[in-house]
């Protein structure tokens, strides 16, 4: 299984429930680091269609992954969502 890495240097600048990319978050929010990582994945593996995350009860986490997936044309899969 290939491993693609990207250093997470941003912080949770935008702490609202719904994430919106803006000039202030573009280079300093951790969500943009996730975006950059998934861009690398998309370039290396153009057939990838979805991203699976381990979000269980955190809307905050799930919505951020969904935001990045939507921007890149990926489906967001949260198989454990709302499971005990």
In 3D, which of 73, 77, 3, 1 has the Cα closest to residue 35? 73
**Low-confidence spans in the chain with pLDDT less than 70:** 24-26
Enumerate residues 6+ apart whose C-beta is below 8 A from 76: 50, 51, 53, 62, 65, 66, 69, 70
Q: What's the pLDDT score for residue 25? A: 65
């Amino acid at each position: 299984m290939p491993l693609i890495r990207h250093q997470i240097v941003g912080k949770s600048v935008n702490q609202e429930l719904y994430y919106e990319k803006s000039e202030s978050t573009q280079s300093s929010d951790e969500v943009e680091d996730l975006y950059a990582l998934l861009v690398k994945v998309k370039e290396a593996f153009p057939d990838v269609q979805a991203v699976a995350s381990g979000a269980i009860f955190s809307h905050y986490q799930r919505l951020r992954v969904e935001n990045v997936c939507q921007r890149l044309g990926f489906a967001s899969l949260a198989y454990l969502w709302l499971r005990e």
